[in-house]
Structure 1
Amino acid sequence: MSNRQIAIDLLEKLPEDMSLTDMAREIEFVAGIREGFDQLERGEGIPIENVRELMSSWIVG
């Protein structure tokens, strides 16, 4: 499925009264997820141990 078709399908599923800003955020979110999957397919993933370290640095308190 092309990127254009993915965007069209997504937009058709969103509520009619959604703002353009919220629509753009939804498209950006889906694009980020797809890019992540593409990176994994290219072997560019981050080992889970590194993810845990990163996440612990994000926690405040």
Structure 2
Amino acid sequence: MNSIKEKIQSILNQLPDDCSIEDIQYHLYVLEKIRQGLQVAEREPILQQEEVEGLLSKWLIE
């Protein structure tokens, strides 16, 4: 597995040379949120389609 430093270097290599610090921060933020989401997905039970539809039906107006 790549170290965090290698992952950041990969991100920097993919960004244009004239990117801003905010661009870099945004990409790091998005990757961290994805990482956190994947960790939650591994821990939490998986819902079936019918269960999700039942939960959403309480919020959605048809």
- For normalisation by structure 1, the TM-score amounts to 0.64
Does residue 1:44 correspond to 2:44, yes or no?
yes
Query: Which residue of the partner structure matches residue 5 of structure 1?
Result: 6
- The alignment covers a number of residue pairs equal to 53
TM-score by length of 2: 0.63
1:39–1:45 contact (8 Å) kept in structure 2: no
Unaligned runs of 5+ in 1: none
**Aligned runs of 1:19-58 on 2, under 5 Å?**
19-41=20-42, 43-44=43-44, 47=47, 49=52, 53=56
| 1:38 CA displacement | 1.7
In structure 2, C-alpha distance between the alignment counterparts of 1:5 and 1:17, rounded to whole Å: 21
What fraction of aligned residue pairs are identical, expressed as a percent?
25
Give the counterpart letter for 2:14 in structure 1. K
Greater gyration radius: 2
- Is 1:11–1:23's contact at 8 Å kept on the other side of the alignment? yes
Give structure 2 stretches of 5+ with no counterpart. Answer: none
CA offset at residue 22 of structure 1? 1.2
SS for the counterpart of 1:6 is helix
